[in-house]
Structure 1
């Protein structure tokens, strides 16, 4: 047994928004939302559930079978759109989950964070003999920051809500975390953001009136022109490099666990890697939940018994800014 993911948990709010409802909001035909956006429906949280609550709910699913007092570290890896501005959700999550022996902190790299969080957890356990179990928890309520009337934010219309968690253990029976590869191209740092609320455009009524509290793309045409030539190559690069470091090739991948993106992008990536479509987890009934997608995909893979001992799975994601990240798992359970 080695350092690996011992258990996963997910949580979704009961409210579902369908492709038909999104078509009414956006003016985009329902068929386009289903076929091109790759989305039949997504979960949307009400005013009682925020990012921390969604993370807590997912963490509780794991702690039904594992002692909260056995957790040494709690790491929040979810969306930066949280309950409050300039506020850490990790202490609240640690308290509500009853993980009294754990210290807690946050990681944030928007949508790319789960493969990075797996690497960080593995490296922490390897380097510190006092740490045996790390609980990774994330929440996302990014459906709330999408302005469906803004065509510049079109590629973010699949943003959804949910919670996900993964227990990383020193002696995991179910899987082993192998190697990772991460690439950042900081030339995209200024393309996607919520303009208001920070120190440049401090919160004020005029910001709200101008819709600056929603996520926006400064210049979609410019971003597309620069991003299209590098996006798939960088996805492919991090996957191939992570596999190479782990001693494997793409043809040995049993399951690819990517972020939710448009179908054409996923298909192009699969073709470039030579991975069959049925060997990828696609969240077309859940949408994109910031960094949570690969963790949720791993949970569904376990539920559906898609992984057998010796199988190789790759978690892969990308976050605006722009960072691409992949981490390889060998299934043992």
Structure 2
């Protein structure tokens, strides 16, 4: 039984924050922002660019691309951020209502910036296990730049956070853009390294704390986290890509494109070199920054537009999420003469 991608949608706000803006806010040399952080500019949310609203706009584009009606959707999975319109709210059901997906049921999942990979894995599993599920919409939004204090040096590696929405339409029993196997690693030793300290049950957000701006992201042990994470993260990037390819029945030499999240340019280049790939085998998102869970969908759409992906190409999407989680999933793009039967 095959599952393939039949629709892609990305929504980006029109407002931009440039490298110069970030350098001024953070009191950093412009070279640090442009070269070390790898940011030229990034989209940021306007007054009406709410998290789930951006997911809905992306979903509309994905449905249009797939040329299907919302009533054809069986399940909607919201994979966007928890920082959204309301703190206690099931976003997937809102998306269902706004699209008019009256035949669907919906739910939310969360693995920080690794959630898109998880959503694709879960959607495929649902279709394999339930014959009534034939078409699944994945949609998410992200605007965690709201939670960044540019004066807080501990969060400097998150100055690239931007805003946007992304969506995919997945369908079973198709012979195009086939989704193969995924690999996910989680490491709980990092689970409380990056948090919003206030606003939960441990430290409720009071008016006084709100005025002090203590509702933003912070890093509890920056040096310790850097020491523990630096090499482990790169190793896990390589491991999940290799595992995903191997489980999918492909050799590393088959890999034609890697859709990566935005990270330091040196780390991006390291991953490519590890698979003997060149700059043209990926897209470095310097004009977009890091839009969380949306990065892989954005990279895929940009690569198709720039014709970096051809029919028959094997591509792997790879992510990393605070917590810490690494994930990869392999896709063979284009029309296929046949597909592997995953029920065997």
Deviation (angstroms), 1:280:
1.3
Given that 2:280 and 2:308 are in contact with CA atoms closer than 8 Å, whether structure 1 keeps it comes out as no
2:107 aligned to 105, 108, 113, which one? Answer: 105
Report what 1:191 is aligned to: 193
Report what 2:342 is aligned to: none
Report what 2:62 is aligned to: 62
SS at 2:80 equivalent: coil
Deviation (angstroms), 1:142:
0.9
SS at 1:115 equivalent: helix
Do structure 1's residue 24 and structure 2's residue 24 form an aligned pair? Answer: yes
Report what 2:143 is aligned to: 141
Given that 1:6 and 1:173 are in contact with CA atoms closer than 8 Å, whether structure 2 keeps it comes out as no
- Paired with 2:99 and 2:263, the residues of 1 have a C-alpha distance of 32
- Paired with 2:231 and 2:257, the residues of 1 have a C-alpha distance of 25
- Paired with 1:97 and 1:150, the residues of 2 have a C-alpha distance of 39
Report what 1:47 is aligned to: 47
- Paired with 2:275 and 2:214, the residues of 1 have a C-alpha distance of 39
TM-score, structure 2 normalization: 0.94
- Paired with 2:253 and 2:200, the residues of 1 have a C-alpha distance of 45
Report what 1:290 is aligned to: 292
Report what 2:341 is aligned to: none
- Count of residues paired in the alignment: 333
Report what 1:301 is aligned to: 303
SS at 1:55 equivalent: helix
For structure 1, the residue ranges without an aligned partner over 5 or more in a row are none
- Paired with 1:266 and 1:174, the residues of 2 have a C-alpha distance of 28
SS at 1:238 equivalent: helix
Deviation (angstroms), 1:306:
2.2
1:131 aligned to 130, 133, 136, which one? Answer: 133
- Paired with 1:153 and 1:256, the residues of 2 have a C-alpha distance of 27
SS at 1:172 equivalent: coil
Deviation (angstroms), 1:249:
2.6
Matches within 5 A, 1:212-291: 212-291=214-293
SS at 1:332 equivalent: strand
Which consecutive segments of 4 or more residues in structure 1 shift more than 6 A? none
Deviation (angstroms), 1:322:
0.6
SS at 1:155 equivalent: helix
- Paired with 1:171 and 1:262, the residues of 2 have a C-alpha distance of 39
SS at 2:42 equivalent: strand
Report what 1:117 is aligned to: 119
- Paired with 1:250 and 1:33, the residues of 2 have a C-alpha distance of 33
SS at 1:49 equivalent: coil
Given that 1:75 and 1:90 are in contact with CA atoms closer than 8 Å, whether structure 2 keeps it comes out as yes
1:168 aligned to 167, 170, 174, which one? Answer: 170
Deviation (angstroms), 1:304:
2.2
C-alpha root-mean-square deviation of aligned residues, in Å? Answer: 1.3
For structure 2, the residue ranges without an aligned partner over 5 or more in a row are 336-344
Report what 2:205 is aligned to: 203
Given that 1:7 and 1:168 are in contact with CA atoms closer than 8 Å, whether structure 2 keeps it comes out as yes
TM-score, structure 1 normalization: 0.97
Cα deviation 1:154-187 (Å, max 9, x = unaligned): 0000000000000011133430000111111110
